[in-house]
Amino acid sequence: MSEYDPVDPPVALTVAGSDSGGGAGVQADLTAMRAHGVFGASVVTATTAQNTRGVEDVNPLPADHVASQYAAVADDFDVAAVKTGMLATAEVVETVTELVADFDAPLVVDPVMVAATGDRLLSPAAEDAYEDLVAAATLVTPNADEAAVLTGNPVETPADAEAAGRELVALGADAALVKGGHLSEGAVGEDVVVDTLVRAEGDSESGGPTVDRFETPRIDTDATHGSGCALSSAIAARLARGESVRGAVGAAVEEMTEAVRRGYDVGEGPGAVNPTVLGEE
């Protein structure tokens, strides 16, 4: 009989919807976490009928079942970081906010509110319910469209992204990463993506929040399905490993370029990013 030789990785939890096409949601989250050497647990908030061409149906799960899943995980695992994705309804947003209220570890909130087509995914009530969850976040990671929904102001340039990040920090988040993939290409150059990180941690010179900008090459592809999920999960995994917010964000943003470049060419629509390359040295 061989000797049992287990590993003891950090545990991260994703609270998000399931993607039947496999490119985003819980499926992408767990792959990204595993790529970083982190054990991923999951709480499913909704099931979807989707593929590379789009979303055909969404079935939110009851909030009490979401709470039961969370309780089962929290009762058994030493969870070192939580990441939230698609929460689907106001009741689920409020339930998750209550569940993480006493969570004493990093919380990454990816506010999945706007589809790649620009369509709003949540009711106004669900959008409003995000305010308390954002306030509880270690890091909130909206794209430009979602930052505009959260702040009520247009986000079209890196300057707008910084202003939105500052407003999200003022709402209570420890830090905000406003992703630049949806910014006007004319504002940043067609070959560059600018992601803006604002941290409540003060800048010694200005006395205000600390601002960092990350510039990465823009890959010539529409196959970016799952990029937001993979990025926020990569950051959560790195935080679970004990990295700083600045370090986790910088490393995850840099490696996402390769995840997009080496994306999956599957299905008849645009493909998906490749989370398996995340965490590669």
Is 84 inside any structural domain? yes
Is 90 inside any structural domain? yes
pLDDT digits (tens, 9 = 90+) for 16-69: 999 999 999 999 999 999 999 999 999 999 999 999 988 888 999 999 999 999
Burial letters 94-131, b for 16+ CB under 10 A, else e: bbbbebbeebebbbbbbbbbbebeeeebbeeebbebbe
pLDDT grade, residue 265 (50/70/90)?
A: very high
Total domains in the chain come to 1
What angle, 0 to 180 degrees and rounded to 10, lies between the N-to-C axes of helices 25-35 and 227-240? 40
| Domain membership of residue 242 as a residue range | 11-277
Instruction: Pick the more confident residue, 130 or 115.
Output: 130
DSSP 57-108: EEEEPPHHHHHHHHHHHHHHS-EEEEEE----SHHHHHHHHHHTTT--S-EE
pLDDT digits (tens, 9 = 90+) for 112-129: 887 665 666 787 888 889
Is 186 inside any structural domain? yes
Query: What's the CATH code of the domain at 44?
Result: 3.40.1190.20
pTM strictly above 0.85? yes
Is 6 inside any structural domain? no
Q: Which two tokens stand for residue 1?
A: 């009989």
pLDDT grade, residue 92 (50/70/90)?
A: very high
Query: Is residue 260 scored above 60 in pLDDT?
Result: yes
Is 168 inside any structural domain? yes
Contacts of range 208-214, beta carbons closer than 8 Å, 24 or more positions apart: 208/166, 209/165, 209/166, 209/169, 211/162, 211/165, 212/246, 212/249, 212/250, 213/158, 214/249, 214/250, 214/253, 214/254
The reported pLDDT for the residue numbered 122 is 80
The reported pLDDT for the residue numbered 264 is 95
CA nearest to 128, candidates 102, 97, 107, 163: 97
Is 5 inside any structural domain? no
Query: Is residue 205 scored above 70 in pLDDT?
Result: no
Q: Specify the 3-state DSSP secondary structure of 175.
A: strand
H or E stretch at 31 = helix 25-35
Query: Is residue 218 scored above 80 in pLDDT?
Result: yes
Is 54 inside any structural domain? yes
Contact 239, 227 (CB under 8 A): no
Is 156 inside any structural domain? yes
